[in-house]
Amino acid sequence: MRTTNEEIQVTSSQKANIGVTGLAVMGRNLARNLARHGYAVALHNRTHARTKALVEEFGDEGTFLPAETAEEFVASLERPRRVVVMVKAGAPTDAVIEEFAPLLEPGDVIVDGGNAHFLDTRRREAALRERGLHFVGTGISGGEEGALNGPSIMPGGSAESWESLGPLFESIAAKADDGTPCTTHIGPDGAGHFVKMVHNGIEYADMQLIAESYDLLRHAGGYEPAEMAEIFRTWNAGRLDSYLIEITADILAYRDPETGRPFVDVVLDQAEQKGTGRWTVQTALDLGAPVNGIAEAVFARSVSGHADLREPARTLPGPSRAPVDDRAAFAAKVEQALYASKIVAYAQGFDEIRAGSEEYGWDIDLGATAAIWRGGCIIRAKFLDRIRAAYEGDPATPTLLTTPDFSGALADAQDAWREVVATAVRLGIPVPGFSAALAYYDSLRAKRLPAALIQAQRDFFGAHTYRRVDKDGSYHTLWAEDPRSEVTA
């Protein structure tokens, strides 16, 4: 029987409902979020001064039970113990697990709230399961503000662990506009961290597409940042309503206090990355899931950071640039291209989640995944309600692109989308995100792809065989003898 919030919170004053170890910004804010919702929270950090500082500064927000040692921390927790680990992914996470696991008992739960690679989570979950412990790899999105005020929470792990953690997560998670908590049990072992990884990959693509829209408006449309801020605010009032569009408008409207220049003009044009986008692409290659839109966003960040390549290449020839004749009309076309490309990027991300779910036997609910991204996380947007509805209408849909809502939007965007990409090419404005999205769309709808020639080439130089359109089986042509000779492989 599932535990209720009320049952969890009725405990001895000497025992905490849940504990957080690792009190940097994310861990500290998550602990405060839990305390604000009425839970007694045990606190632990490798450096005890950080624990003391949290209690001194925020102790009036709820019940905190600070502990100086791991033993004191574990002893302060009610059974089944719930330990949330908020440290850096990799070796630090393994070190904390090895420190705490021997102190726990069968049925206790360890939650990894960091950005771990899902394969590490699968390994840890299997090892701790043998010791009778539940390990819950949990994606937490929303940054430090989300951790404090309500993130999107993506837990994996066993069904039993969700029974224990579900009420806590539901109370502290962000709430969608319809009041639904932005959390759900994603699936077994590494499913939660896998979904968080793909979420971040989609985030990369979304940000790249917005950045390309900015670049087009500025260098093809001739708009200044303050003018673009108003365009993005208008877009945010429509179907592109999202956190990323909202903050883009704010950024473009902001002026650097030191120079008085538009803030975007004083920021070095080199975008960094922490690795989850790269993992998304690497994993997609392993799964055979085409995510070229996400991949181009990752590569675009990589290109931006290569000053050694970019500096000498600035003298390479290119076309002359002149603003378009009707910039207002062009801005409307950019909005169409942005929305169409966004559909493609999200479709690719959800296709990868489906592929991962099938590969690892997770049975992930794609509609529920879209639903918990509607609030708290970085890619939160009203647009996700359409994705949720699409999968609820047909959970087996092969791609979001063919669902009635999205196929209609893509049909409406055709001319504008292609014109924007063509204009970018003509003016020498790089749009890898828009171009990749359009190429993917055209590849899916093509009656026949040039892959036939590629497979023939593979058979010619490597005897890799091929299949025919007119009969079953695999075949190889004896190219060194008589090309008309064909054998069944």
Give whole-number Cα distances, 440 to 6, 251, 464, 486, in Å: 50, 31, 26, 34
Q: Is 103 exposed, middle or buried (0-12, 13-18, 19+ CB in 10 A)?
A: middle
Host H or E run for residue 193? helix 191-219
Name the residue among 330, 192, 177 with its Cα closest to residue 242. Answer: 177
Catalytic residue among 6, 7, 78, 196: 196
**Residue 447: active-site member:** no
The region, left, alpha or beta by phi > 0 then psi within -120 to 50, assigned to residue 473 is: left
Give whole-number Cα distances, 288 to 281, 351, 463, in Å: 10, 10, 22
For residue 246, the tally of other CB atoms under 10 A from its CB is 17
415-418 LR contacts (CB < 8 Å, sep 24+):
416/332, 416/333, 416/334, 416/336, 416/337, 417/333, 417/336, 417/337, 417/340, 417/341
Catalytic residue among 125, 203, 212, 296: 203
- DSSP label of 189: T
Host H or E run for residue 22? none
Report whether 107 contacts 82 (CB < 8 A): no
**Residue 333: active-site member:** no
323 CA to centre of own chain: 35
Name the residue among 57, 63, 56, 53 with its Cα closest to residue 18. Answer: 63
Name the residue among 158, 163, 157, 125 with its Cα closest to residue 139. Answer: 157
E strands of 329-425, at which residues? none
Residues in CB range of 306: below 8 A, 6 or more apart: none
The residues annotated as belonging to the active site are: 196, 203
